[in-house]
Amino acid sequence: MVKLPELKIGKLIAKVPIIQGGMAIRLSTARLAAAVANEGGIGLIAASGMPFEELRHEIRLARKLTPNGGIVGINVMVAARQFKELVAVAIEEGIDLVVAGAGFSRDMFSWGKESGTPIVPIVSSAKLAKISQTLGAAAIIVEGAEAGGHLGTNRSSREIVPEVRAAVKLPVIGAGGVLYGRDIMEMLKLGADGVQMGSRFAASVESNGSEELKKVYLRANKPEDFVLVHSPVGLPGQAIRTPFSERIMLDDAPKPKQCDVCLKKCSHKYCIIRALSRAQQGDVETGLVFSGKRMREIHDILPVKEIFANLKREVAAIPE
């Protein structure tokens, strides 16, 4: 019987080698992160777009919800103007690890070194993985074109993971298009030490999305329901086709009336934080819905406990 290995990142040991993707805005809050941590995985709170006090509250709440000390981290966009301050707040609150994507920061590794907090960058190339190792990364998340949200490549994670494995000695975590037990085992065979899963946890009971948003996930059943949009961050983003994503593709999305200056660099073509927030709150007409391509294979909203039970069962059924 095949059994999942543990995932070690620095001094942290996850009993199950699964990191739940940090999905902003406010899809991955304390409830989801804690539910994943309680199952032996690594739960992430998505810090991008959160005021500092809200982030503090979410981290403290996640700690209350994990009385047996599960692993809880944050995910934050390097592209966020308050990237440094959000990381500082999380480190102050004793967060277990910091995952950083949508851009790359050399500075963050020294912040992690000072506090002893593992810093885990999301990269899409062996070159950036090597640089991360030199700078002091604790592990590397390798994200391919199958993933939802901001993308750094049009190549499959299945191609990039073996290249990164050959380039670094750190724990490597494969991300993008991981839904089932067989996908986890495929990533491990390619040289990954664990996986990061977003879509399956976005479509969970504990995910902080509105019922309307979760209905959009379940309705997206065909390849043409998924589109690449240009994000004001300056990266492509993988999303579900909605009236708003169609407007973005036609270059007809409404320009922001006011700007909260939330990004370091922004094209101001439309406000991405507000568009993601509207979808999270249930306005799926004028909201932006980020999602991985394989969301179309998900036909039910399940509790995190059941998702983990299914994955373990699927892995156990794989012939050795």
Within the chain, strands assigned E span 7-9, 12-14, 18-20, 42-46, 71-77, 97-101, 119-123, 140-143, 149-150, 172-175, 194-197, 226-230, 236-240
State whether residue 24 is helix, strand or coil: coil
Answer positive or negative: Cα dihedral of 305, 197, 138, 17: positive
Q: Does one domain contain both 15 and 147? A: yes
Asked, for residue 305, whether it belongs to a domain, the answer is no
Q: Does one domain contain both 264 and 162? A: no
Asked, for residue 309, whether it belongs to a domain, the answer is no
Per DSSP, 190 falls in state T
Q: Write out the H or E segment, with its range, that includes residue 36.
A: helix 30-38
Asked, for residue 311, whether it belongs to a domain, the answer is no
Asked, for residue 306, whether it belongs to a domain, the answer is no
**Number of Cβ within a 10 Å radius of residue 281:** 15
Q: Does one domain contain both 29 and 135? A: yes
Q: Does one domain contain both 228 and 281? A: yes
126 Cβ neighbours under 8 A, 6+ residues apart: 160, 163, 164, 166, 167, 168
Q: Does one domain contain both 49 and 187? A: yes
Asked, for residue 308, whether it belongs to a domain, the answer is no
DSSP one-letter string for 69-128: --EEEEEEETTBTTHHHHHHHHHHTT-SEEEEESS--STHHHHHHHHT--EEEEESSHHH
Domain boundary among 148, 175, 207: 207
CATH number (domain holding residue 15): 3.20.20.70
User: By the 8 A CB rule, do 167 and 198 touch?
Assistant: no
Can you give the pLDDT at residue 291? 96
Domain boundary among 162, 185, 207: 207
Can you give the pLDDT at residue 260? 87
Q: Does one domain contain both 172 and 186? A: yes
Closest CA to 203 of 297, 279, 298: 298
Q: Which residues pair with 43 in a beta bridge?
A: 72
Q: Does one domain contain both 35 and 160? A: yes
Asked, for residue 139, whether it belongs to a domain, the answer is yes
Closest CA to 287 of 299, 298, 278: 278
288-to-73, 204, 242 alpha-carbon distances in Å: 25, 19, 7
Can you give the pLDDT at residue 175? 97
Q: Does one domain contain both 203 and 225? A: no
Task: State how many domains the chain has.
Answer: 2
Can you give the pLDDT at residue 187? 98
Domain boundary among 147, 181, 207: 207
Cα–Cα distance between 223 and 236 in angstroms, integer? 17
Can you give the pLDDT at residue 47? 97
pLDDT in tens, the chain (320 residues): 788 999 999 999 999 999 999 998 999 999 999 999 999 999 999 999 999 999 999 999 999 999 999 999 999 999 999 999 999 999 999 999 999 999 999 999 999 999 999 999 999 999 999 999 999 999 999 999 999 999 999 999 999 999 999 999 999 999 999 999 999 999 999 999 999 999 999 999 999 999 999 999 999 999 999 999 999 999 999 999 999 999 999 999 999 988 989 999 999 999 999 999 999 999 999 999 999 999 999 999 999 999 999 999 999 999 88
Q: Does one domain contain both 152 and 260? A: no
Q: Does one domain contain both 254 and 151? A: no
Asked, for residue 69, whether it belongs to a domain, the answer is yes
162 Cβ neighbours under 8 A, 6+ residues apart: 190, 191
- Extract the tokens encoding 285: 């007409």
Range of the domain at 245: 211-296
**Number of Cβ within a 10 Å radius of residue 106:** 11
User: By the 8 A CB rule, do 253 and 182 touch?
Assistant: no
Q: Does one domain contain both 175 and 222? A: no
Q: Does one domain contain both 182 and 244? A: no
Asked, for residue 316, whether it belongs to a domain, the answer is no
Name residue, tokens 């946890």: 201
State whether residue 16 is helix, strand or coil: coil
